[in-house]
Copies of this chain bind each other. A is one copy, B any other.
Amino acid sequence: MTNDDEMAFEMALIRRAAAVEVLLRRLLDDRPLSGEIARPDRLMAAMRHGVLNGGKRLRPFLVMESAALFSADGEAALRVAAALECVHCYSLIHDDLPAMDDDDLRRGQPTVHKAFDEATAILAGDALLTLAFDIVASEATVLPAERRAALVLALARAAGAGGMVGGQKLDLEAEQTPPDEAGIITLQAMKTGALIRFACEAGAIIAGAPAEDRERLAEFGSAIGLAFQLADDLLDLTADAGQMGKATGKDAAAGKGTLVALHGANWAHSQLHGLVGQAHALLDPYGDRAALLKEAATFVATRNS
């Protein structure tokens, strides 16, 4: 990859994030939609606090770029991207709760239960998860109903007991009983991997691409999900809190095993190199059109915050 590719990726990431931001702000408006009775303003404010927080919007980027790979409808991809970000942000709100990871800061700002209160944070998370399925299923997501239903199903599988939420449960258990290597891999594939895999797979579903493409994009998502987690574990070891905007070294302090702790930083760097190569190879059939997605894989593996 050249420096130009890197810059093109960073520009595209910022552009996509801006579009998602506009849509999220609209979706989190105080005005009730058809079928809704009223939207309590403190609840909506808490939802906005948890979502409109200046995140990089990496998952939405992956949805939109994967969709663009198959020339899918951009408006539909944007809505699915926003829905996925709602799921990601709900999971952060609930993870930050005192009964869970008990974090006071997120991106340098008070977490939702600090800025509001615990009950409001629980409900804001619940409402964001619910809203995500609303967004995907709505006719405003201009896709055939078959694809909207398939997206709801894939998102629910990625986010539920057998995906992200299950991974969070395993992560909490890992504080009591450190898992073995296979256990760590399962935990991470669920906790962070499942949503990233969905992000990439979603593009193919939105486009109605053949099953082979859908599977290829899902595998790409799995590879960069693994890379994302390895990079995160490396950062947790080495970065200071200012760089991350949140407390660091917490995993080690909580006694949680990571693959980096098990095998060391050199091994992790070599793994990351391999995963990026694997991710790139999966996208080779799509030629130049996959340049930004390939650069996203490199970014995920080498990010320093």
Contact = CB atoms under 8 A, between A and B. Distances in A.
Interface of A: 32-40, 42-44, 47, 90, 94, 97, 99-100, 117-120, 122-123, 125-127, 129-131, 133-134, 136-139, 144-146, 148-150, 152-163, 165-170, 172-173, 186, 189-190, 194
A26 to B, nearest CB: 14
Contacts of A43: 161, 165-166, 169
A231 to B, nearest CB: 21
Instruction: Please list the 8 inter-chain residue pairs (A to B) with the smallest Cβ-Cβ separation, ordered nearest first.
Output: A36-B162, A99-B118, A134-B156, A35-B157, A130-B160, A137-B152, A127-B161, A145-B146
Residue from A146, A152, A190 with most neighbouring chain B CB atoms (10 Å):
A152
Contacts of A155: 133
A134 to B, nearest CB: 4
A166 B97 CA distance: 20
A173 B41 CA distance: 11
B168 A123 contact: yes
Given A145-B145, A156-B133, A44 B161 contact: yes
A19 B126 CA distance: 28
Nearest to A140: B153
A118 B133 CA distance: 25
A130 B129 contact: yes
B119 A137 contact: no
A39 B172 CA distance: 14
Contacts of A125: 126
Q: Is the contact region of chain A dominated by helix, strand, or loop, or is it mixed?
A: helix
A160 B117 CA distance: 19
Contacts of A34: 157
Nearest to A44: B161
Nearest to A156: B134
A187 to B, nearest CB: 9
B94 A166 contact: no
A36 B43 CA distance: 31
Contacts of A189: 37
A241 to B, nearest CB: 24
Residue of A36, A90, A170 most packed against chain B (CB within 10 A): A36
19 contacts: A32-B162, A37-B167, A38-B190, A39-B162, A40-B166, A43-B166, A44-B161, A94-B126, A126-B126, A127-B161, A127-B165, A130-B161, A133-B155, A137-B149, A138-B153, A145-B145, A145-B146, A148-B149, A148-B152
Given A152-B152, A153-B137, A169 B129 contact: no
B39 A166 contact: yes
A122 B97 contact: yes
A129 B130 CA distance: 8
